[in-house]
Structure 1
């Protein structure tokens, strides 16, 4: 697909992403989904209201009534869709920088639309084939002011069903929350207070300029959260991305917990023999080891939530239990709850592990690997193509097992390296993992050096 990437449509505001374009995406979606009513929601980005208005106008123009949810995390919008059966146009660029925005389409079941449906919508979009209506059939618009509050109540009810709400309330943990000025500001602090936690926050005011930090909750952006954890003796630090469908953690010492270690710990707590875990081709060896020890199966897909969701659905149709899925970026799913990433729910499940022992102990068994990431930016598609040609040459010449599910992954048994183009930004991403940092760095440079040479010559 040319328009919908691995996680919807994203682009720089005023360049790739404009109000007319967002309107056409919404109109195409409404025409294909043929829903009487669709919802529109957004994160806190400065352009969010602009694009939400464009989407709402386009939906009304094709005869679809609009439920305006306002600022709400993506999982909150998904909860609304699941509860009402109404698809949602979610205006968000998730973890991308402030200059970006995007569109994510959610089905009436509360999950992202299947790729086959997205392809049909894209065909309509590119052909500008919309079912516009006359003056007497335009859709109406209704504001739904309680979407965030209802989402929080549903989270609390679910944790009660899981048997975790009472357990967390009894533990009375102190939790430091960094919503990053994003949509999680309107839900996560309240949610954890309602759970009985003592909550302290940083970057807790909704602000689409993201003054506190960039929206991506990577280690380099979480200095304020680490300091807050140390100064308040918090049991756990929780950080979200811009739309709060991801959660990353800081332990009680103020140290960053790698996302792959958190995923491994959560999977280890869930897996039974015969279960399956779905992850992406940049999967950490930590999760590989956990799955093997549990006598479970590991299913790998291309990077991006839509690919994981499709594989989860397929496995569940076949009768395979998939208790947990996700990636090491904090985007984790518990399919028995919902086949969708939910940063607040994931954080609560991790906090339940911390109720028994310190967070540093929870992840101690999943250390021992150095996981490195790097990006190479490009300005022109010719540069991208030249870099990928160079990467292919390195991969074919290497003495390792090659996987081409998504880019080029080389497995050496005790270490691996992956190169793939980003589905949302003008970047080629590199990942490497090994038992020590020096070897992981060497693996990265094995690809990066010839790729940068090829980019310079393009």
Structure 2
């Protein structure tokens, strides 16, 4: 696909992702969907209202009525889509820096569109074969009130409130100025938790930290955990479909360790878990220990969702899926990543024992991640060619399902182009941190040398 990547389409707002472009995407979606009504939601980004206005205009021009949902977490928009049976355009760039924005398309079942459905919309977009309604049949726009409250109520009904409330937990929360800042504080309080926050006000300039919940951006959350003697720290990304945790000592918990711990609580013999090619050995070990199957896909929620649907159609039980970035699916709840729901399921475990004990079995691996940016297609292609040559020359098992993953037995390293930013991402994991660092360094130098030669 030329336009839609692994998680929609994104770019620097008003430069790459302009109102004119969003207008065309909305016209294409309205034309391809051919439905009477579509909803629009957004995150807190400063350019969100501008781009949501453009999307509303594009939909109305095709004769489609528009439900304006306002600022709501992406999983809240998906809840609305499923409840109302209408597709949703979500204006969000998720974890990308503040200057970015993006478009994510959700079907009337509340699930992100599959690749085949995105391709249909992309075909209309590229051909500019938009449907145009007569002036007296253009769509009407209405504002939907109360969705955030309804979304919180749905979350409360889906988790073990009594178990969490009885534990009298203190939660340190960093919603990162995101859409989650308008829902997660109330949700955790209504679960019976004492909630303290940092970066808790919605602000599209993200003054406290960048939207991506990685350790360097979450220093203040660790401090808050320690200062308030909290039982757990929880952080969201820009559209609150992810959750990252800190333990009771204020130490960052790897998302891979969290996924493994939640999977250990969910998986039974004969089950299937789904993850991406950058999966940690932690999850591999959990699946093996309980005699469950682990299926790997290319990176990106769209690919994971597609595989879950295929497996469930084949009669397989998939109780958990996701990636180590905090984006986790519990398909029996809803086929969407939901940071608040993931956090609540983790709180069910924390109600029984401290976070440090929960993740202790999964602490034995070191992860290193590096990025190499590029400014042109030629630079990207040169780096990918270099990665291919490096991979084929290595004494390791090669997986090319998404990029180049080299398994050495005691460690692995992966290079793949980002689906949302002009980056080639490098991931490495080993039980020894020096080993992981060295594998990542070798590949990083190979790629940068290739880029410099362009």
Does residue 350 of structure 1 match 2:346? yes
Q: Output the CA distance in 1 between the equivalents of 2:56 and 2:279.
A: 38
Q: Output the CA distance in 2 between the equivalents of 1:452 and 1:172.
A: 51
Equivalent residue runs for 1:86-101 within 5 Å: 86-101=86-101
1:414, CA displacement in angstroms?
1.8
Equivalent residue runs for 1:172-251 within 5 Å: 172-251=168-247
Number of the residue aligned with 2:439 = 443
Q: TM-score, normalised by structure 1?
A: 0.99
Does residue 275 of structure 1 match 2:271? yes
Q: Render the CA deviation track for 1:297-346: whole Å, top value 9, x for unaligned.
A: 00000000000000000000000000000000000000000111000000
Does residue 383 of structure 1 match 2:383? no
* SS of 1:363 mapped into structure 2: helix
Equivalent residue runs for 1:121-140 within 5 Å: 121-140=121-140
Q: Render the CA deviation track for 1:255-286: whole Å, top value 9, x for unaligned.
A: 00000000000000000001000000000000
* SS of 2:273 mapped into structure 1: strand
* SS of 1:428 mapped into structure 2: strand
Q: Output the CA distance in 2 between the equivalents of 1:11 and 1:70.
A: 21
- Displaced runs of 4 or more, over 6 A: none
Task: Pick the aligned partner of 2:312 from 312, 316, 329.
Answer: 316
Does residue 286 of structure 1 match 2:286? no
Equivalent residue runs for 1:60-71 within 5 Å: 60-71=60-71
Unpaired stretches in structure 1, ≥5 consecutive residues = none
* SS of 2:207 mapped into structure 1: coil
Q: Output the CA distance in 2 between the equivalents of 1:416 and 1:367.
A: 17
Q: Output the CA distance in 2 between the equivalents of 1:411 and 1:450.
A: 18
1:118, CA displacement in angstroms?
0.2
Number of the residue aligned with 1:85 = 85
Q: Render the CA deviation track for 1:366-421: whole Å, top value 9, x for unaligned.
A: 01100110000111111111111111000000011000000000001121000000
Task: Pick the aligned partner of 1:362 from 343, 358, 363.
Answer: 358
Number of the residue aligned with 2:301 = 305
Q: Output the CA distance in 1 between the equivalents of 2:285 and 2:391.
A: 25
Equivalent residue runs for 1:26-175 within 5 Å: 26-159=26-159, 164-175=160-171
1:10, CA displacement in angstroms?
0.2
Does residue 7 of structure 1 match 2:10? no
* SS of 1:274 mapped into structure 2: coil
* SS of 2:120 mapped into structure 1: helix
1:423, CA displacement in angstroms?
0.5
Q: Output the CA distance in 2 between the equivalents of 1:169 and 1:108.
A: 34
Q: Output the CA distance in 1 between the equivalents of 2:259 and 2:109.
A: 25
* SS of 2:221 mapped into structure 1: helix
* SS of 1:108 mapped into structure 2: coil
Number of the residue aligned with 2:404 = 408
1:446, CA displacement in angstroms?
2.1
* SS of 2:275 mapped into structure 1: strand
* SS of 1:44 mapped into structure 2: coil
Does residue 371 of structure 1 match 2:367? yes
RMSD (Å), alpha carbons: 0.6
Q: Output the CA distance in 1 between the equivalents of 2:409 and 2:295.
A: 18
Q: Render the CA deviation track for 1:335-369: whole Å, top value 9, x for unaligned.
A: 00011100000000011110000001100010110
Number of the residue aligned with 2:250 = 254
Number of the residue aligned with 1:333 = 329
* SS of 1:31 mapped into structure 2: helix
Q: Output the CA distance in 2 between the equivalents of 1:251 and 1:447.
A: 32
Deviates more, 1:65-74 or 1:379-388: 379-388
Q: Output the CA distance in 1 between the equivalents of 2:98 and 2:194.
A: 30
Q: Output the CA distance in 1 between the equivalents of 2:446 and 2:215.
A: 28
* SS of 2:176 mapped into structure 1: coil
* SS of 2:405 mapped into structure 1: strand
